[in-house]
């Protein structure tokens, strides 16, 4: 069940961002080291520009440190004119829904809008938990979720509302 925003409520907003398309060209590369491929390098700036056009500005960006996620986060940050430090958290790489939820619940409350850049299946599982989003989130796909709560630790499925779903081919 989706929550509805009450007037005067504090809102925390999360943008779940799957990294852009990665390269499988060099099979000797460890999964963690795979870079973006040509399509990924094209799609990440486009999605960043869409966020900027919609005046979406994060207060914090949390990202997996895997090369493809790191590259995606940096490109998108540049396009939305985010000039703070991107926080690279090892635990986002290969994280399941519960781990990602703990990361979201531990975001500092001074930040109202957060970008979480990572990988599937964990990101899909997180979106399904929060807003019952059951479709596959394509590479460089973005799901916006608003929480009616005062603190990130209170964010959960009961106070979550789907704001948007966007991806490069949409």
Per residue in 12-36, pLDDT (tens digit) is 999 999 999 999 888 888 999 999 9
Backbone angles phi, psi at 146, to 5 degrees: -105, 140
The pLDDT tens digits of the residues spanning 86-141 come to 999 999 999 999 999 999 999 999 999 999 999 999 999 999 999 999 999 999 99
| Domain range summary for the chain, segments of one domain joined by + | 11-166
In CATH terms, the fold of domain 11-166 is Rossmann fold (3.40.50)
User: What pTM was estimated for this model as a whole?
Assistant: 0.93
101-107, Cβ contacts within 8 angstroms, sequence gap of 24 or more:
101/126, 101/129, 103/62, 104/14, 104/152, 104/155, 105/152, 105/153, 105/155, 106/152, 106/153, 107/12, 107/60, 107/62, 107/152
């Amino acid at each position: 069940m989706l929550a509805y925003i009450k007037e005067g409520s504090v809102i925390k907003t999360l943008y779940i961002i799957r990294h852009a398309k990665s390269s499988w060209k060099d099979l000797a590369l460890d999964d963690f080291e795979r870079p973006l491929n040509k399509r990924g390098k094209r799609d990440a700036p486009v999605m960043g520009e869409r966020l900027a056009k919609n005046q979406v500005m994060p207060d914090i960006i949390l990202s997996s440190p895997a090369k493809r996620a790191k590259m995606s986060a940096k490109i998108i940050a540049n396009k939305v004119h985010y000039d703070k430090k991107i926080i690279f958290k090892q635990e986002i790489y290969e994280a399941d829904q519960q781990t990602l939820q703990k990361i979201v619940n531990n975001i500092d409350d001074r930040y109202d809008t957060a970008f979480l850049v990572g990988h599937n299946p964990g990101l899909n599982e997180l979106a399904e938990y929060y807003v019952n989003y059951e479709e596959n989130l394509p590479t460089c796909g973005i799901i916006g979720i608003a929480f009616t709560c005062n603190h990130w630790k209170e964010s959960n499925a009961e106070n979550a509302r789907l704001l948007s779903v966007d991806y490069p081919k949409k």
